[in-house]
A and B are shown apart, each in its own frame.
Chain A
């Protein structure tokens, strides 16, 4: 029993942090492009709107449906549509546009005056992104990544219910379908602790990054 819970927890952590990592790798550049093309940094209204529509479409899908719709792709990437690794594919792809929107808003919070000042110093676009935008937006962006990770904990439980493994799968199969109330309670408690730890970790990082 203890080993089963531990194993399920490790599966959940794998899904959340693997998908979270991929989401940061994909979402951050997407956020920068959304921000830059929509503003004065690199005005490309056409690209901005196209990307905006794609992001909105992906975000409109209920996650459950998205997971099922993505199964062919999942099979192509990891060879199977069942298991932790398979569940990470739709989780990552759903998290990328979600995080991109959150990070875009953090970037938009950077005062415009800073960008104007950098322009007055003859900075290139890349320099403005690397030396002004990203560093100044960092505390806000960490906060948004935490929001995404917590959301992913919830989504991973949903993925678990349809064969993705992890705590969600355990709660559904062992707890709900076999009426094992104590298993359900334990998994939910672990999820609560997990969310607390992620939030605490995030607050710690924000405190350290915000001078």
Chain B
């Protein structure tokens, strides 16, 4: 059993604004393990941002307890909470750098709050400038830096206090895909070299896929699904998760197909299947087997094979040119038996 570094125990939080109540967190219980990269995904308003802020006390739950490093946050004095926050770094979507300080001085900020000596500050800052690849940018002001560089400064600033936990609040949402990948790579490296626990929230499945070990899916203040990323991706249980995963996939579906797609099986149309498979199944000739057993033609419209946390994950969109529903049922049963996750998207 892995050791928990953060524990949420039945926490709830409701906001009241203009006489209306909004439930941001609804009885959330969750364990985050030491040293892992934990992703929290959900649409905006799902409560993920509030949940993240409960870890460092920027938000206080109405009910329930939050334990960080085995300490009950709600039982702490304000002073003790500030001490604890020195051990939790945080980065943000819009970087939140001070515009009138250089990169170097921005990184120094948390150390100034802790009244550390200039010598200690300098050596730590130099280490982090090196780690984040910013050595030649230390005298630059934020407005002279690109988005990716700003986030690197923010990461260095978050790490300069040598924290155990790094919280990432949509840290790559304001960055282009290429920069996102670089920043995620940097976070992954930090996680591995420093053994830092990373908790990140995002609305992008792609971010989870690239970096997280485990993921929690949030919807309307509840955690609807939690598990290893590979499991959640290959066999999403909750409808919200299925929608998220499918979106990642069907967003690349050609316009031509989308227009033809209908929910009814009409003459001249064939079922469109979405199949997902992991690990060993990826090596088996499943599609060829369909042709051999039922003599149906399969038309592969789209196929995608990728590695998620070192495991193979395949997605395929296939049109099966079968005539009757009995045959389709048999095919679906066969596919399920081979541990392929299959779903009828419609008929084209």
Which residues of A pack against B, CB within 8 Å? 111, 113-114, 116-124, 127, 131-132, 135-136, 138, 209-211
Contacts and interface: CB of A to CB of B under 8 A. Distances in A.
A176 to B, nearest CB: 47
A130 to B, nearest CB: 10
B100 A132 contact: no
Given A121-B110, A211-B141, A136 B99 contact: yes
Interface string B26-62: 0000000000000000000000000000001010000
Contacts of A135: 98, 100-101
Contact of B86 (A113, A122, A136): A122
Contacts of B323: none
A117 to B, nearest CB: 4
B96 A122 contact: no
A114 to B, nearest CB: 5
A131 B109 contact: yes
Name the prevailing secondary structure of the A interface residues: helix
B56 A120 contact: yes
B231 interface: no
Contacts of A114: 96, 98
B67 interface: no
B333 interface: no
B249 interface: no
A147 B56 CA distance: 41
A45 B85 CA distance: 27
A127 B113 CA distance: 7
Contact of A131 (B56, B112, B141, B167): B112
Contacts of A131: 109, 112-113
B161 interface: yes
Interface residues of B, number: 27
Interface stretch (B87-95, B178-186, B222-230): B87-95
Given A117-B96, A131-B112, A131-B113, A124 B82 contact: yes
B83 interface: yes
B96 A111 contact: yes
Contact of A120 (B83, B90, B101, B114): B90
A131 B100 CA distance: 11
Given A111-B94, A113-B92, A135-B98, 20 more contacts: A111-B96, A113-B94, A113-B96, A114-B98, A116-B92, A120-B56, A120-B89, A120-B90, A121-B109, A121-B113, A122-B84, A122-B85, A122-B110, A122-B113, A124-B82, A131-B113, A136-B98, A136-B99, A138-B100, A211-B100
A132 B34 CA distance: 32
Contact of B83 (A113, A117, A119, A122): A122
The 6 closest A-B pairs by CB, nearest first: A122-B85, A122-B82, A117-B96, A120-B90, A121-B110, A113-B96
B98 A120 contact: no
B25 to A, nearest CB: 18
Nearest to B113: A123
B92 A117 contact: yes
Contacts of A127: 112-113
A5 B312 CA distance: 88
Given A131-B109, A211-B141, A121 B86 contact: yes
A160 to B, nearest CB: 39
Nearest to A135: B100
A188 to B, nearest CB: 39
A131 B113 CA distance: 9
